[in-house]
Structure formats: structure tokens, C-alpha cells
């Protein structure tokens, strides 16, 4: 895809602190930021990732300088854009993207649309997508395909994913805007530490539709745990949403501080697992990294593989408890994030 593409005029607003002028340009370069400099002798241009880099590298040598940034005609300066998540399969690339105060989704259904060396690099992904004439339109999801007529875009062919409201009703009703959370540390693709009201919590999300099922299993388990006031798990703090409160895509729990168990903790861990089974929950993924020893207690985390035990069916519970010794002796890093 060419780095210079445009289907119409673009505008650039210029501020000097004393006056503001507007120029129109017929093309732009979709690589990093476009930086322009004006002087009394006329308009000069330069391209660099940021204005400061443009100055420091000597791209701009005219004075007095007027630094400007390109944006779509009829809009304000380009909103903050960032690729938050990606999921790549053959000829099917999913991107979750922040655009200012919004989170949008892009499905690219042809390998040639985004070059191989761009597909996992946030700025390069955005540079390709910004070349689409439809990029600056209003949409929640964008499906990009290729036909004999060229690249085609379809608005809102699929809906942004969200947790089933029936699963949400089983837990706490506190809801938090994802983009307003203060992110502290990434743990994995879907899990991170965030700060809420000065408290460090663990955030878990479903980045895309196909990750909802596991998250809903965990939330159903927390609903049962809360109904039974089960204390040997992290405190469930609330739900996390994107844009609208009905677009719940994750939840917040307490961060536990402690250590992972070893075979000397078998009795303590066995007691916790037995208590879990007594309220009808099979954990489904017991390994030493899903158990935290805090003081004299063993607490359980990660209920994405959990199941609710049917009345009179104890085989799964018996099997899970029988394998606990083996799991505590396991020196591999299976289950470690």
C-alpha cells in the first residue's frame, strides 16, 4: 500500500501563539506524524515522527517556525489513536483500537491489505488503516476486504462484543470505564494491574468476541462464590466497560499478595479445594500458579475453566482433588503467566 494516498483535500490548522491560519493540502504521508513548518518566506514541509524529532534532526531549519499537524478536513486535530489488541489468523486480522475516548474494532479479511512486517506493529498498522478513505467516518466496527474493484470497507457489519447481561447480574454492580483506569503493569495479553482509587487491582478482559465464553464462566463462578460468601478467593470489585456501560468486556478483582504453594502446603490447599467443591464449583485448572498462599490460607484464582457441579455427580471433584498432589509437585512453569 502506497504511503501517499488521498481521495480529497485535507486541512492543517496552524497555531503560532499569536495567530491561526489554515492551509489545504491535496495529499499527505501516512507515516508517523506529518510536521510542517512555515516561514515568512513561504510554506516549508518536513516529515518526522514528532515535532521535536523534526527539529532535532535538522529537518526544519526555517525561522520563525510554525509547527502544524495534519488532520481530516472538517474535524479537529486527530484524536489519540493506539492499537490496544490484535488477533491474527490466516486472512483474518482483528484489531482493537483506541480512538480518543472510543474503542473501535477492525476486521481485515485479506492478507495483502496490511503488509507482513506491519501486521503486529501498532504505528504501522495505523499508518495502513489511515489510508482508507472511510477511516475518518463514524463507525464502531470496520470490515476491510479486497475485491477485483480494490479495497472495500463496510461499516458496523459486526457489533462490538460484550458480556451477556445475565452473567453480569450475578455479581457486583460497580462499573468502571476502561479508558479511565490508570494502568500500572501488563501481566499478559488479557490481564494487567490497574490503580482504582489508589488501590492496585487486577483487570481481566475479553479483547474479542471469541474470548467471552471463558470470561463468562469465571463471572458465573464468582456469582456463586459471592452468594456463598466464599472468602478463599480475591474480592470481586466490579465490571469494566468500553464507551457504554452495557458494553462490559471485563472485571476487576483484588490483587492477592503471597506465594505459590509447594508440596508442604498440601493440607492447606486441600482444605480450600474441598471448600470450593462443597459449594458446587469445580475449578477446572488447578495448578500451583492458580493458588496463592496468603498467611495461613490458600486462595484460588482463575476460574475460566470452572464448571458448576451437578447434584450427585462427584467424579470431577474427586478427580480434581486426587490430582492436587501431582500439581504441587510439578516443577514446570505450566500455568505461569
Rounded Cα–Cα distance for residues 291 and 10 (Å): 56
- pLDDT tens for 156-213 read 999 999 999 887 866 767 999 999 999 999 999 999 999 999 999 999 999 999 999 9
φ, ψ of residue 210 to 5 degrees: the values are: -70, -5
To the question of pTM greater than 0.85 for the whole model, the response is no
Which has the higher per-residue pLDDT, 218 or 313?
218
Local confidence band at 311 (pLDDT 50, 70, 90 cut-offs):
low
Entry field: residues in the chain: 337
Q: Which three cell numbers stand for residue 129?
A: 488503516
Q: Which pLDDT value is given to residue 312?
A: 58
- pLDDT tens for 208-252 read 999 999 999 999 999 999 999 999 999 999 999 999 999 999 999
Q: Can you list the domains of the chain with their CATH numbers?
A: 81-155 (no CATH), 165-329 (1.10.510.10)
Q: Is 61 exposed, middle or buried (0-12, 13-18, 19+ CB in 10 A)?
A: exposed
CA distances from 299 to 165, 255, 262, 265, 273 (A): 28, 11, 14, 12, 9
Closest C-alpha among 26, 44, 23 to residue 35 = 44
Q: Which pLDDT value is given to residue 334?
A: 75
Q: Which pLDDT value is given to residue 32?
A: 38
Rounded Cα–Cα distance for residues 323 and 314 (Å): 14
Amino acid at each position: 500500500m502506497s504511503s501517499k494516498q488521498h481521495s480529497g483535500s485535507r486541512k492543517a490548522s496552524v497555531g503560532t501563539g499569536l495567530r491561526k491560519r489554515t492551509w489545504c493540502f491535496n495529499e499527505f504521508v501516512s507515516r508517523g506524524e506529518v510536521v510542517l513548518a512555515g516561514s515568512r518566506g513561504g510554506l516549508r514541509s518536513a516529515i518526522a515522527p514528532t515535532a521535536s524529532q523534526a527539529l532535532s534532526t535538522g529537518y526544519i531549519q526555517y525561522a520563525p517556525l510554525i509547527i502544524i499537524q495534519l488532520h481530516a478536513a472538517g474535524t479537529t486535530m486527530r484524536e489519540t489513536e493506539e492499537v490496544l489488541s490484535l488477533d491474527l489468523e490466516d486472512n483474518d486480522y482483528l484489531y482493537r483500537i483506541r480512538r480518543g475516548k472510543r474503542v473501535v474494532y477492525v476486521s481485515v479479511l485479506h492478507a495483502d491489505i496490511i503488509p507482513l512486517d506491519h501486521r503486529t506493529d501498532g504505528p504501522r498498522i495505523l499508518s495502513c488503516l489511515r489510508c482508507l478513505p472511510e477511516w475518518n467516518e463514524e463507525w464502531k466496527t470496520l470490515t476491510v476486504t479486497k475485491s477485483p474493484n480494490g479495497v472495500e470497507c463496510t461499516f458496523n457489519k459486526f457489533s462490538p462484543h460484550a458480556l451477556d447481561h445475565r452473567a453480569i447480574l450475578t455479581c457486583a454492580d460497580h462499573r468502571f470505564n476502561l479508558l479511565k483506569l490508570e494502568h500500572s503493569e501488563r501481566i499478559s495479553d488479557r490481564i494487567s494491574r490497574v490503580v482504582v482509587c489508589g488501590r492496585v487491582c487486577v483487570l481481566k478482559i475479553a479483547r474479542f468476541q471469541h474470548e467471552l465464553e471463558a470470561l463468562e464462566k469465571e463471572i458465573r463462578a464468582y456469582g456463586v462464590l459471592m452468594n456463598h460468601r466464599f472468602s478463599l478467593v480475591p474480592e470481586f470489585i466490579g465490571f469494566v466497560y468500553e464507551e457504554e456501560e452495557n458494553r462490559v468486556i471485563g472485571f476487576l478483582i483484588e490483587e492477592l499478595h503471597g506465594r505459590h504453594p509447594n508440596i508442604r502446603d498440601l493440607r492447606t490447599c486441600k482444605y480450600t479445594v474441598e471448600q470450593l467443591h462443597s459449594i458446587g464449583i469445580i475449578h477446572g485448572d488447578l495448578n500451583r500458579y492458580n493458588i496463592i498462599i496468603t498467611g495461613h490460607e490458600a486462595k484460588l484464582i482463575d476460574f475460566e475453566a470452572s464448571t458448576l457441579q451437578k447434584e450427585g455427580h462427584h467424579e470431577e471433584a474427586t478427580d480434581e482433588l486426587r490430582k492436587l498432589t501431582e500439581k504441587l509437585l510439578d516443577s514446570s512453569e505450566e500455568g505461569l503467566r
